[in-house]
Structure 1
Amino acid sequence: MKATDSLYRRLILWLLLPLLGLGALMLMQAYRSAHDAADRAFDRLLEAASLAIAEQVKWQDKQLWLDLPPAALEMLATDAEERVFYALYDNHGRFITGNADLPAVPGGADTLRFADTHWHGMTLRVGVRPARLDSWSQRERFEVRVAHTREGRDQLTWSLFTGSAGRIALMALLAIAVVLLAIRIALAPLTRLRRAIRHRDPRTLAPLDLPLPRELAELRETLNELLARMRRVRANQERFIGDASHQLRTPLAGLSARAELALRQPDPASWRSALETIQASSARTARLAVQLLSLTRLNNPEATPVTSMLDLVAVARNATRDAFAACHRAGIALELDAPDDAIPLTGIDWQLEEALNNLIDNARRYGARHITVRVQAAPPRLQVEDDGPGIPTERRRLMLRPFHRGAETGEGSGLGLAIVDSIARGHGARLTLDEGRHGPGLCVSMTFQGDRA
C-alpha cells in the first residue's frame, strides 16, 4: 500500500463510487421516464387529431371525401413549431387525400397504433386510426394517418428530465454529505486512538486505556499485548545490564586494588605475583566481555545472520580442535565421538561452534577431567558430556539464566549455558540437560529438527 493512501480516502471511494453509479442509473431511468411521458402526452394529441379528422370523412360521388377542419391540425401545433402531416387512405391502402403520403405502421388492422419512423430524412411520430363510414347506405372502411416531427416531444422530454435531474442531484448531494459525515463520525475513534498514541510519552510502556468500538478495541488489546511484551523485554534488558555491570565492576575493582597494592611493594617478586594475578583476572574479564557481547548479539531481534548448509561433524571437529590446547594444559582429556559421514544441516556454523566452545569451557572450569563431544545423525544432535560434579535436577532450568552459576567455586561467569540456549532457540533445536552416561557428570544435548537439512 502506498504511504499516501488513507483509510478515509478508501472509504470515500468505495462508498461514493456505488452512489455515483446508482445516480447515473437514476438519471438514465429519469430520461427514459420523461421520454415515455412526452410520448404518451403527444400520442393523446395524435389520437384526438385523428379522431377529429375521421369524423369529417364522408362518402360523396362514390368515393371518400374529407372536409378537413382547421382545429384538427391546430391541436398538434406547439411552440416547438413541429411539421404536421395527415393523409386519408381507403380500404385497399390507396392514398385519397392529405398533405403527405405517410408510411404505414405495422400492427393490428382494427386498433389505434403509434410508431416512430424515418421519412424523407425526418423522424416522425405516426398515429394510425382505422375507421369506417357510419352511414346506413355505406359502411366503407378507411384509415386516417396523422404524423408530426419530434421537436415538441424532445422539448417536453428535456423539460421533464431537467426537473427530475435537479431533484436527483439534490438528493445525491444530500447523500454525499451524509456519507462524508458518517465516515468522519465512524473514523473518529480511530483518530482518538492515533492521537492517544502520538501524544504518549515515548518512554512509557503503560497499557492504553481508551474507550473504543469493538473492532478498534481488538486493535487496542493487540497494542497492549505488544506493550506488555516490550515491558518484559525492557525489564530483562535492565536486569541484564545490571548484572553485567556488576559482573564487570567486580573484576575491574579487583584489578585496580591489586595494582595499587603492588605499587606499594618494593620487592620485584611481589610485582611479578601481582602481575600474574592481574593477567589471570584480566583474561577472565576479557572472556566475560566477549560472552556479554555474544549474548547481546544473539538476543538482538534485528540481527538476522544468513544461514547456510553445514556439516555437524565438521563443526564438532573445529570446536574440539580450538579447545584442545586449553584442556591439555589443564590435564583434561578431550574426546570427539563422531561418525565418518557428514551430517548436513541448515544453520550458522560459527554460532554452533561457539555453543560447543562454551559447553567445553564450562565443563573444564567446573571440575571435569574427561570431556566427550558427541555427534549423532538420527536425529541430528550435538552433545557435550563430562564427568564433573554435574547440576542438580531442580537447578538445571535456572542454569539457563544469565549470570546464574552452578558453583561459587568455579571460574565461570554464568553466561555459557545462556549463550548455548540462545543459539539452540535460534536454530529451532531442543536443549536438554541430563546426567552423564557413566555416573556423575552433565550431558548437554542440542537436538535439531530432522527436516532442517
Structure 2
Amino acid sequence: MSAQDSLYRRLLAWLLLPLLGLGALMLIQAYLGARDTADRAFDRLLEASSLAIAEQVKWQDEQLWLDLSPAALEMLATDAEERVFYALYNARGEFITGNANLPGLAMANGDEQALHYGNVTWNDQHLRLGIRETRLEGWSQRERFEVRVAHTREGRESLTLALFQGSLVRIAIMALLAACILVLTIRLALSPLTRLRRAIRERDPRTLAPLALNLPRELAELRETLNDLLARMRRVRANQERFIGDASHQLRTPLAGLSARAELALRQDDPALWREALQAMQATSASTARLAVQLLSMTRLNNPEASPELTPQDLNQVARTATLGALGACHREGIDLGVETSEEAILVPGVGWQLEECLANLIDNARRYGASQITVRVLANPPTLEVEDNGPGIPADLRLMVLRPFFRGQDSGEGSGLGLAIVDSIARAHHARLTLHEARQGSGLRVAIRFMGDRS
C-alpha cells in the first residue's frame, strides 16, 4: 500500500502535525519565559546597583558629589563579562559624573524611589538601562537627582540560552513520549481494522457466509455493509445456479430428442421416414439454436461489467429496423405485421441493438403463440415502444410470472420462456418500465416499454 493510501500514515500525519505545532508554541513560550526570567534576574542587579550608588551620593561644596566604590560596580559583573555603565544627573538633567553619558527614558510621573527600565541603543551598543529618581536624605538638603545604570546584554542572553536549553530538553523528552504514545495508540485503534482485513483475506473465496467479528461501532457498520453485500451476492449466485439448472434442463430436452430421433431413423430403411426424421431434427436444432442465442443474451444482459454506454437512439428508427427484420418470418406464416411511428424523432438514451432485440423478441413471441396481426407502435409522450397482437393474450394473474426465465403461460407454442425475461432485462437496463395489458381491440396482448428518463 502506497503512502498516500495508508490510513495509518494519514492518521499519524494528521495527529503529528498539530502535535508539532503545539511543540513549536511550547518552544516559543519557553524561550519567551527564559528571556523574561533572565530580564527579571538582571533587572534586580540593576536595582541593587542603582540603590547602592544612590546611597553614595552626597552634597559637598554646594553640589552633588559621588564617591563610588568598586564594589558597587562589581554587583553588576557576571561571568558573561558584559560592560557596565553608570551616570549621575542632577534635577535639571545635567551630567554630574559617571563613566558614560547615558540617555534618558520617557517616564510617567510616579514614586520617587521607583526604578524605571528600558532597552536603549547607545554608541551602537544594545543596553538595558535602569533609572532611579530619588533625593538626598539630609535634614538640611533634599536635592533631587537621578542615578542611571546600564549594562550590555551578554549576561542576559547567556542566561536566557541556558534556561531555554533546559526547557528544550524537557520539551523534547515530552514530545518523544507523546509521539511514542501516539504511534501505539493509532496501532491499537487500527488493530480491529487489521483483524477485519485478515479475516477477509483468509476467507475461502467460494464461501459467501456473513462475517462474525466483534468490532467497534464504526467498523461494525462496515462489517454489516459487507454482510449485506455478501447476502446480495448469495442471492445473485442462487439465481445464477437456478438459471444454469433451468438452462441445462431446457437444452438437455431437445438434445435428447435429437439423439432419439436420429437413433430411430437409423433403424429404418424407408427414405421417406428418413426425410421425416431429418425435418423434425432440423426444426429441433433450429429451436435449440434460438434457445442458445437467448441464453447468451440473458447472460450478457445480466452482466453489469459488460454494460455498454447509453447513446441517443431514435425509437422510430429502432421500430422500423426491428419490424423489417421480422417481416420475412411473419410473411411466410401469413401474419399481418405493421409499424406505426411518430412524425418527429423521439430520442431516448439507449443501446440500439438491445432495443431492436427487445422488439424482435416481442414480435417473435406474438408470432409463436398464435397471433395473426401484430402492430409495432411508437408513442411520444412519454416515449414508449408498444407491440400489440390479437393472439390469446396472458391472464392478468400470470403477467408478472411470465417475466421470469423459462416460465411459459401456456403449454402450447414453440417458445422457450425467455423472450419476455430478455425484454424485461433490457427495459431495466434502459431505466424503462415494462407493462403488460389487454389489447386495445379487446383480444390479445399489448406490451409497453415506457422510458422514464429525460429525452436527450
Q: Same fold (TM over 0.5)?
A: yes
| Matched residue SS, 1:440 | coil
Choose from 326, 339, 344 the match for 1:323: 326
Kindly state the Cα deviation for residue 3 of structure 1 after the two structures are TM-superposed: 7.1
Indicate whether 1:37 and 2:37 are aligned: yes
Choose from 368, 371, 379 the match for 2:371: 368
1:355–1:423 contact (8 Å) kept in structure 2: yes
What percent identity do the matched residue pairs reach? 72
Choose from 398, 419, 424 the match for 2:422: 419
Moved over 6 A (4+): none
Residue in 2 aligned with 1:12? Answer: 12
Residue in 1 aligned with 2:51? Answer: 51
- Which sits farther off after the overlay, 388-397 or 231-240? 388-397
Residue in 2 aligned with 1:139? Answer: 142
Choose from 255, 259, 267 the match for 2:258: 255
| Matched residue SS, 1:446 | strand
Query: Residues 339, 141 of structure 1: CA spacing in aligned structure 2 closer, same or farther, 3 A cutoff?
Result: closer
| Matched residue SS, 2:241 | helix
Query: Residues 253, 4 of structure 1: CA spacing in aligned structure 2 closer, same or farther, 3 A cutoff?
Result: farther
Indicate whether 1:441 and 2:444 are aligned: yes
- Which sits farther off after the overlay, 392-401 or 255-264? 255-264
| Matched residue SS, 1:134 | coil
- 1:356-388 CA-partner distances (Å, limit 9, x unpaired): 110111111111122121221111111111121
Kindly state the Cα deviation for residue 4 of structure 1 after the two structures are TM-superposed: 4.5
Residue in 2 aligned with 1:297? Answer: 300
Residue in 2 aligned with 1:118? Answer: 121
1:338–1:376 contact (8 Å) kept in structure 2: yes
2: distance between equivalents of 1:450 and 1:418? Answer: 21
2: distance between equivalents of 1:75 and 1:232? Answer: 93
| Matched residue SS, 1:439 | coil
1:56–1:66 contact (8 Å) kept in structure 2: yes
Indicate whether 1:21 and 2:21 are aligned: yes
Kindly state the Cα deviation for residue 340 of structure 1 after the two structures are TM-superposed: 3.3
- 1:167-194 CA-partner distances (Å, limit 9, x unpaired): 2122212221221121111111111111
| Matched residue SS, 1:65 | strand
Choose from 133, 153, 168 the match for 1:150: 153
Residue in 2 aligned with 1:177? Answer: 180
2: distance between equivalents of 1:96 and 1:253? Answer: 133
Residue in 2 aligned with 1:404? Answer: 407
Structure 1 residues not aligned, in runs of 5+: none
Q: TM-score, normalised by structure 1?
A: 0.97
1: distance between equivalents of 2:383 and 2:163? Answer: 85
Choose from 225, 233, 243 the match for 2:236: 233
Amino acid at match of 2:171: I
Amino acid at match of 1:182: T
Query: Residues 10, 48 of structure 1: CA spacing in aligned structure 2 closer, same or farther, 3 A cutoff?
Result: same
Amino acid at match of 2:368: R
Q: For 1:190-205, list aligned pairs within 5 A.
A: 190-205=193-208
1: distance between equivalents of 2:256 and 2:268? Answer: 19
- 1:40-75 CA-partner distances (Å, limit 9, x unpaired): 111111111111111111111111111112221111
2:407–2:418 contact (8 Å) kept in structure 1: yes
Aligned length: 453
- 1:16-52 CA-partner distances (Å, limit 9, x unpaired): 1111101111111111111111111111111111111
2: distance between equivalents of 1:62 and 1:297? Answer: 120
